[in-house]
Chains A and B, each alone.
Chain A
């Protein structure tokens, strides 16, 4: 079936604007993850959902970042009052099982956010 999809693929926002990034995981995948990848760096964990429950949000850098997965499928990462340091690629991944480290994670292509 289809892989993980993300939209938009590219987003340019003016500083102070709010943005919403969407992730469509692989159908039936229980776990969903968001990562932030700065240029030339590896991804860094933001948050983790098991179905609709957000079990770990320890990686969210500030209270301007908010994620939800209300029906246990599609997820949205929202960033309020964007700052230049928020410029990065935001990756979404899903996996079939529960937990972060025991199952294969399948990544989407990412959304490249540029804050001007």
Chain B
């Protein structure tokens, strides 16, 4: 079973609309949670990083929330633009002694913004 699960798998919205992507994780112990944006044919680019003590973090039109108790996170995109069309990946960092905890990636949500 995946330790990081995202929903929906894909999403189509109209330009200017808002949307929310979900991420559930089982990674424990937990260090931090990241959201990445990956354009087709490109490497992932970081949007937000949150530690377990942070509930929300914004980056422009992107706002991430984290509930470490329920092990859930969401990424809200406001006033979507055509350039938001991409895959959005939730990434959870586990913690281990020696600082060798791995990044565990979800499979991503593919967002398509239509004019």
- Give the B-binding residues of A (Cβ under 8 A): 4, 33, 35, 40-45, 48, 55-56, 59, 91, 93, 98-102, 104-110
Contacts and interface: CB of A to CB of B under 8 A. Distances in A.
Scoring A4, A100, A109 by chain B CB atoms within 10 A of each residue's CB, the highest score goes to A100
Given A42-B89, A42-B108, A100 B43 contact: no
B105 A101 contact: no
Contacts of B101: 99-101
A99 B103 contact: no
B112 interface: no
Number of chain B interface residues as a range: 20 to 34
A44 B45 CA distance: 16
Contacts of B20: none
Contacts of A105: 46, 103
B70 interface: no
